[in-house]
Structure 1
């Protein structure tokens, strides 16, 4: 049955679903939450939780990356952010916190652009990654495709365990008329560490990214509540459909490659524990969290959230969003919760959803039954 819907006489489009439009369905079997494993393994690294901290300055500092690593997740530092531009970014973060309350403000955007115009310093990249390594957790950093060619050698020399290439949309070969293109297949082949790359939001682009040798593919455009990509560029794919499409690419690539498994990582729009549950149910292996972790007391954004797209010097497509503070990072991730909206004890919510539907591990949970119930038709 076709999902194509006529838009007019000359154009049609696929029906697509957001995470708010879907829900998981309990089965005949339930189990105790204590019997549920949330372990996630990618390449040689095993984590107690399928959570990656988004490489955003409001979410991950060296300290919070270390804290998340000790709590069983993976923290990814933004290597184009404030920690690699300033020896001490504390005064800059304090200024960002005290900008005008208005979230959509040309004055705020202009000031953010000025603060991020400070050059990236290779020695600070090495120093920040060394700080994380000394803590004994998995070391990971992120660059955009545009900066990867310039700084990846510095990153490799610093000794990362996992490398992330993250942008609004990332292709297997970034073509540029001026300068050398970033050919991901050649680039990943030359590296000696697993690479996670994205975003992608469709079957074909994800399949091409998998063929580059990537260990994981990010699904979505990142940014979540702080991005205005839909309004500024007209680009959006609802996450439930996007994850399912990329999961189909993973299945087909598994057959094509003779058994090579590429992890699907949902990135963006995951504001609650219920969203995490549904992302994994749609086929994700793990989630990259921004807003939910930006609400932690230790988050460097101090209750505010913004992404790299918000500070683009020519075409910013995001803003500084007030997300508030709900609890310490450990409570946000593992509880106990004191909130009823799914903003804390994220892993407790996931564990209970898996137990209520009868699944004991993340991979089998991808087979859970789901229903489509568009938001406007849901009862409150």
Structure 2
């Protein structure tokens, strides 16, 4: 289940009764302590997360300090990326965002510090700018353990959006930070994820492309693939 920080305190009893397998607390930019209008007390993520037996993923963030702050709440995973998704308008509306590779590299450094301090490994999930198998491969090398896919899956012929994609930022009573965007059908969901591919643009067989990228770089698993070198092109 997913919920925004603004609604978490309101629905805490329902969350506890639901015995969820995973809870995602998400908004475009999140901090470990959230205060919204009408709330008498700020939502302290550290206190909230530690009263749950359910693993919690929090995000999004795009900096070293923000990622480290969220890791210290006890979250099992942190969503990394602000304003990078296809449907997101956060950069235009709020002026907040950053390059995805930089955000992941900073969060990776924060994870190393958190691991040294606590012995706890926090998973990083790249959220945004994932359009092709190559994008996924680069995200893993930058430090991600997983990626969140939106528009690539929405482009499936059998996707429930039927040719449209929108994110959680699209819904806001006063300041929407995302739009509803049309996506061109690429193939079935199975073809997009596992192939076979009939296009040369990297939009199909995402898992196969990731495996091929790992093999060409000499790696057999995702954890070791995170050790691959990155060459930055200044063009």
Unmatched tracts of structure 2, length 5 or more? none
- CA distance in 1 between counterparts of 2:86 and 2:57 reads 22
Among candidates 209, 214, 223, match of residue 354 of structure 1:
214
Q: Distance in 2 between matches of 1:278 and 1:164?
A: 24
TM-score (norm 2): 0.95
Partner of 1:317: 177
Q: Find the aligned partners of 1:279 and 1:223 in 2 and give their Cα distance.
A: 13
Alignment-derived partner of residue 248 in structure 1: 109
Equivalent residue for 1:155, pick from 1, 15, 32: 15
Q: Give the TM-score, by structure 1 length.
A: 0.60
Is 1:182 the equivalent of 2:19? Answer: no
Cα distance in 1 between the residues matched to 2:115 and 2:66:
16
Give unpaired runs (5+ residues) of structure 1.
Answer: 1-140
Give the superposition deviation at 1:148: 1.2
| 1:197 and 2:66 correspond | no
Equivalent-residue separation in structure 2 for 1:320 and 1:347 (angstroms): 26
Q: How does 1:281-300 map to 2 (within 5 A)?
A: 281-300=141-160
Root-mean-square deviation (CA, aligned residues, Å) is 1.4
Query: Which structure would you say has the larger Rg?
Result: 1
Q: Quick check: 2:83–2:97 contact (8 Å CA) kept in 1?
A: no
* Distance in 1 of aligned mates of 2:201 and 2:19: 39
Equivalent residues of 2:5, 2:26 under 8 A apart = yes
User: Residue by residue, what CA displacement relative to the aligned partner does 1:153-174 show, whole Å, maximum 9, x if unpaired?
Assistant: 3233223111111110110111
1:178 positional shift = 3.3
Matches within 5 A, 1:218-367: 218-221=79-82, 224-257=85-118, 259-367=119-227
Which residue of the other structure, out of 358, 364, 368, is the alignment partner of 2:228? 368
Alpha-carbon separation, structure 2, partners of 1:230 and 1:320: 16
1:40-87 superposed Cα distances (whole Å, 9 cap, x missing partner) = xxxxxxxxxxxxxxxxxxxxxxxxxxxxxxxxxxxxxxxxxxxxxxxx
Tell which has more relative contact order, 1 or 2 (C-alpha 8 A, sep 6+). Answer: 1
2:168 and 2:64 mapped to 1: Cα distance? 26
Which runs of structure 1 show a deviation greater than 3 angstroms over 4 or more consecutive aligned residues?
none
Partner residue, 1:211: 72
Query: In structure 2, how many angstroms separate the alpha carbons of the residues matched to 1:318 and 1:188?
Result: 27
Are the aligned partners of 1:295 and 1:303 in contact in 2 as well (CA < 8 Å)? yes
Is the CA contact (8 Å cut-off) linking 1:223 and 1:290 kept in structure 2?
no
Q: Could you tell me whether the CA contact under 8 Å between 1:309 and 1:317 is conserved in 2?
A: yes
SS of equivalent to 1:287 = strand
Cα separation, 2, equivalents of 1:160 and 1:153: 12
Residues 336 and 345 in structure 1, CA contact (< 8 A), matched pair in contact too: yes
TM-superposed CA distance for 1:181, in Å, is 1.3
CA distance in structure 2 between the aligned counterparts of 1:177 and 1:301, rounded to whole angstroms = 33
Structure 2 counterpart of 1:173: 33
| SS of match in other structure, 1:156 | helix
Shift of 1:224: 0.7
**Cα separation, 2, equivalents of 1:260 and 1:272:** 31
